[in-house]
Structure 1
Amino acid sequence: MKSGNAAPESLRQRAARAIGNALFGLFVAVVLLLTVFAVTYQPPDPWLDTAASAVRMKQLFNKVVDNATFQTAGSIFLTGEDALAPANSRAGGSISIEDAQDAAEKALEVTRGLNNGGKDRGCVESDIVVNCSDPGVLAAIEKVNLEKFPEIDAFEYRVPVQGGDERSCDVAWKYRPRRERSKRMYRDYRRYTLVLEPSCEYQVTDVGDWHSGRNARLQRFHGINAFNDSISSRGDDDSSSVGRFLYYTRGGDHCKGMKQFMWSFLCALGEAQYLNRTLVVDLDFCLSGKDNFPGRGDEPGKDLRFYIDFDHLRESTSVIELKEFSKLNKKHKLGKIRKRVISDNVKVSPMELRDETSTIVERSFRESSEPDNYWYRVCEGETEKVIQRPWHMIWKSKRLMNIVNTICGKLEWDFDAVRVERGEKAANKQLWPNLDKDTSAEAVLSKLSERIDAQRYVYISTNERSPGFFHKLKEKYEVSVLDDYKDLWGPGSEWYNETMALTKGKPVEFDGYMRDAVDSEMFLRGKKRIETFGDLTSDCKDGINTC
């Protein structure tokens, strides 16, 4: 009886052990598979890897800003400002209507005293010269600016000065557009015609055009319209203050598209921050032919400061320009200090360099071939979870943004925008059968008539370069295109002189990327925005049957 019971018990134990071993083996196999997957898996690069990845990244960034480009390759790189939401309300620190009203009330007694008006007596309107230094003049100007330019926030006014005649005053002020996502300030100066009412209040009867107040032009604001991105000497004799550096030699990203270059550049910035090192930046930039005018090849010898705000970058993190670094190297004899050169950049991760004590860490990409000589490869794989690309450090060039704001000022900050994409797509009837017809001047006018009121300012952001192509729209709208403002980058312009200061007197071409950058930003500033695909034509953006 005892042995009979033992046999079934032994069978049950063996079965339990077998099941346990099988489950444990399955668990070990799953763990091994997950480990292998985690080690070998490399996430697709969101800019450069697959079409599906590109679509996902485009969907992500379309939540922030419209895809602003006329190039098939998509040339315009989204910068730190684009990740910020535009302001929908008055910015903190700017002048409000309440501030202007308080200033007007306080100025009233001063105005009465200056014009022989007692507390209970009014002022006599006459042809006397308007006293531009009267606080009531500035209060009136502040109020009219708030009413006329709701798209900007004014932060500081200079004391008005006499304008072109006895009834006009010129005044300068600093401001920030509401749709400007960065924290930069800009400057305007206008001419105002005023009259003194019997109530002793000044009324503005006319507001001049953008930058019309020439007598106030020389009134400078600290940090406004001043560029501090020159290569300046450190002037430091103490070698102990040299610090530690990270240097990426030129790699395969040179002369690649702007998106690839900036994706790689942000990787270098991220690693420098992670390692707490100063990044050595080579400002010698090559503009890819696909980011320029159609048919143009790659153009080396450009300056990176043409395209990004290098001043903001220097304020955001520790960087040094390559030429200045070379001078520093000679001055402090850094060549005698420890330098680690890394040739296999894919294998040596930033995490392995965290405790590196060498003064200079040089990632050399000269020995590698594509794609291993792309800078962004450093931030792939496991590193992607550690290195954060500092998007907020990259802003659009202030020189280009000054052009944008000048055009907005000429349009009184109150315009609608339409993007009209033509070029090679309009000529390709197989992929875009209706685009040429749907973007003709007559068709565009018909579409705009349904959505935009007559006599409105309309800015057309377009790659159509035929002069007068949109002339028909002027029958109903105040139409302008980028070429209407050539004087803003032509010889003698502010942009022309400022860029020549970077090139030691060599004239700089306003290239295709710059045009697209300004055009795209102007489109985003429009109150109403009408796109080519989805609004003007039923064709798909990427060709037939791709919607």
Structure 2
Amino acid sequence: MLGRPVSYRTRSSRPENLGKNSLHMIANICLTIFVIGALVVTIIAATYEPDDPLFQSPTKITTFLTSISNSTFQSNNTVGRTGEDLMAAKQTALATFGSGTDAAETKETNSYETSSSECEVDPKEPLDCKDPEVFQLMMQKAIERFKDIHFNRFGKPTPGPEGNTCDMAWRFRPKQGKATGFNKDYRRFVINRDNCTLSVVSIGEYHSGVNARKKKKKNKNKIPGYEPASGLQDQGGFSLPAAGEMVNDSLPVVESERAFIHRKYLIYVGGADRCKNMKHYLWSFLCALGEAQYLKRTLVMDMTLCLSSVYTSSNQDEEGKDFRFYFDFEHLKQAASVLDQDQFWQLWDKWQRKDKLSLYVVENFRVSPKKLTEVKHSLIMRKFGFVEPDNFWYRVCEGETGSVVQRPWDLIRKSRRLMDLVAAIGSKLNWDYDSVHI
């Protein structure tokens, strides 16, 4: 140990302990300040003397309680009315009652005659269906007549074809059913009018009040290059009856030659999907529609269906059924680009040579839609053979293609005409049934 320098540095003075020592010192200073502040507040609270005389010495309290101040009440010289004054006024009014009664009776008689004259209505004049009294009567009778349904709201009555008829619409749902949506109905009311007395004679059948139907608004989402055909009679020769709500499901019509040649098309030809059940048909049809959307082309579709024997009363396949009767074509043509097959081939034959429209044929369903994105031809035609199951349309969307082409299920809805039939049958059965199969 001799010859070595001795270090007298303590642990607290070491560099690694300076931070800890500083924190302890700051904590002690803060604690001291807090204790001193608490002590000061305690001393002030103990020595504080308020100005309230109740907390003063007994001498000041006695002086406060025995002090004399001026009263806040002042004398009132007005004369108050008593019960005797009221009795005197009543006797004075009774004295003049005799002369006033005759005038009141005369006035009441005149007003009754006036109201009676106003109530007299010419029976030849048409009934005012917008009258609140008529509206209230129609609502009351509808609720009394159809006790098995729950009414959501009533529409405004509209005049019927005759002067004593009014049409009214309402939304409803069966009380016993589990459906959350509301159905629509509009019926015709025959109202008897005897001077001022109104009574409902009869209420028409389901959807009999056609004047109360909601008018169809113009389509703002019109597909460029196409316009709807006028009326329900189309070029394909199909005529759909105007039943239920007004439905604008007419076939799109090409506006001009320029609009036709500037668009690209996709069509499926052949295959064994014909006359299959509806699930099979939709599975294949939505595959074609999904590929058309993926390729950004207009789908050329056949508007005729073959109804499978499982749905027919004759137990045989029935051709020539209209697509629009089973599915909501109005919604489909607004949300997607589609064109009727018959109209397309007419325009194709008319303008193909003139405008040099090209055709690209695909005969193998294994050809991926990814490869067809590079095709610049005006029309892509997928041909399907006669060998099952390779000739089913849905085979195109199998395998890797299924992750690319998505079936647009949101574009397919049930036809309004078909749902009107279901509602009409349910109304005939007073909504007392388990299920309806059409």
For normalisation by structure 2, the TM-score amounts to 0.55
Rate the CA distance shift 1:370–1:277 in 2: closer, same or farther, 3 A.
same
Query: Match for residue 390 of structure 2?
Result: 372
Aligned-partner Cα distance in 1 for 2:182–2:379:
34
SS in 1 for 2:257: coil
> 2:329 aligned with 1:330, yes or no?
no
The answer as to whether partners of 1:340 and 1:358 remain within 8 angstroms in 2 is yes
**One-letter identity of the residue aligned with 1:173:** A
Deviation at 1:389, TM superposition (A): 1.8
Query: Match for residue 282 of structure 1?
Result: 302
Identity %: 34
Aligned-partner Cα distance in 2 for 1:189–1:385:
50
After superposition, the C-alpha distances for 1:405-436 in whole angstroms (9 at most, x for unaligned) are 3333445xx522135xxxxxxxxxxxxxxxxx
Deviation at 1:284, TM superposition (A): 2.9
**One-letter identity of the residue aligned with 2:350:** K
**One-letter identity of the residue aligned with 2:404:** V
> 2:313 aligned with 1:317, yes or no?
no
Aligned-partner Cα distance in 2 for 1:386–1:122:
78
> 2:396 aligned with 1:396, yes or no?
no
Query: Match for residue 156 of structure 2?
Result: 157
**One-letter identity of the residue aligned with 2:362:** I
The answer as to whether partners of 1:258 and 1:291 remain within 8 angstroms in 2 is no
1:191 is aligned, of 189, 207, 223, to 189
Query: Match for residue 431 of structure 2?
Result: 415
Aligned-partner Cα distance in 2 for 1:358–1:242:
11
Query: Match for residue 260 of structure 1?
Result: 280
Matches within 5 A, 1:147-546: 148=146, 150-151=149-150, 153-154=152-153, 156-161=155-160, 169-173=165-169, 175=171, 188-191=186-189, 193=191, 208-211=203-206, 217=210, 221-223=214-216, 225-231=245-251, 233-239=253-259, 242-293=262-313, 296-333=315-352, 336-345=356-365, 347-366=366-385, 369-411=387-429, 414-418=430-434, 461=436, 516-517=437-438
Rate the CA distance shift 1:393–1:131 in 2: closer, same or farther, 3 A.
same
After superposition, the C-alpha distances for 1:69-104 in whole angstroms (9 at most, x for unaligned) are xxxxxxxxxxxxxxxxxxxxxxxxxxxxxxxxxxxx
The answer as to whether partners of 1:157 and 1:174 remain within 8 angstroms in 2 is no
Deviation at 1:244, TM superposition (A): 1.1
Deviation at 1:212, TM superposition (A): 8.5
Aligned-partner Cα distance in 2 for 1:143–1:386:
57
Aligned-partner Cα distance in 1 for 2:388–2:190:
60
**Aligned-pair RMSD on alpha carbons?**
4.2
Aligned-partner Cα distance in 2 for 1:176–1:353:
49
Of 296-305 and 220-229, the range deviating more from structure 2:
220-229
Aligned-partner Cα distance in 2 for 1:318–1:117:
69
Of 272-281 and 168-177, the range deviating more from structure 2:
168-177
Query: Match for residue 73 of structure 2?
Result: none
**One-letter identity of the residue aligned with 2:369:** P
Aligned-partner Cα distance in 1 for 2:335–2:211:
30
After superposition, the C-alpha distances for 1:35-64 in whole angstroms (9 at most, x for unaligned) are xxxxxxxxxxxxxxxxxxxxxxxxxxxxxx
Rate the CA distance shift 1:155–1:390 in 2: closer, same or farther, 3 A.
farther
Decide which structure has the larger Cα Rg and report it: 2
Rate the CA distance shift 1:357–1:409 in 2: closer, same or farther, 3 A.
same
The answer as to whether partners of 1:209 and 1:410 remain within 8 angstroms in 2 is no
Deviation at 1:390, TM superposition (A): 1.8
The answer as to whether partners of 1:174 and 1:221 remain within 8 angstroms in 2 is no
The answer as to whether partners of 1:246 and 1:277 remain within 8 angstroms in 2 is yes
Matches within 5 A, 1:108-119: none
Aligned-partner Cα distance in 2 for 1:254–1:162:
46
Rate the CA distance shift 1:250–1:203 in 2: closer, same or farther, 3 A.
farther
Rate the CA distance shift 1:161–1:280 in 2: closer, same or farther, 3 A.
closer
SS in 1 for 2:376: coil
Aligned-partner Cα distance in 1 for 2:351–2:330:
25
Of 171-180 and 331-340, the range deviating more from structure 2:
171-180
Deviation at 1:320, TM superposition (A): 0.4
SS in 1 for 2:299: strand
Aligned-partner Cα distance in 2 for 1:290–1:222:
37
Rate the CA distance shift 1:382–1:123 in 2: closer, same or farther, 3 A.
farther
The answer as to whether partners of 1:339 and 1:361 remain within 8 angstroms in 2 is yes
The answer as to whether partners of 1:365 and 1:373 remain within 8 angstroms in 2 is yes
Rate the CA distance shift 1:181–1:316 in 2: closer, same or farther, 3 A.
farther
The answer as to whether partners of 1:239 and 1:332 remain within 8 angstroms in 2 is no
**One-letter identity of the residue aligned with 1:400:** L
Aligned-partner Cα distance in 1 for 2:382–2:291:
11
The answer as to whether partners of 1:275 and 1:354 remain within 8 angstroms in 2 is yes
**One-letter identity of the residue aligned with 1:263:** W
Deviation at 1:264, TM superposition (A): 0.6
The answer as to whether partners of 1:252 and 1:373 remain within 8 angstroms in 2 is yes
Query: Match for residue 134 of structure 2?
Result: 137
Structure 2 unaligned spans of 5+: 1-109, 217-243
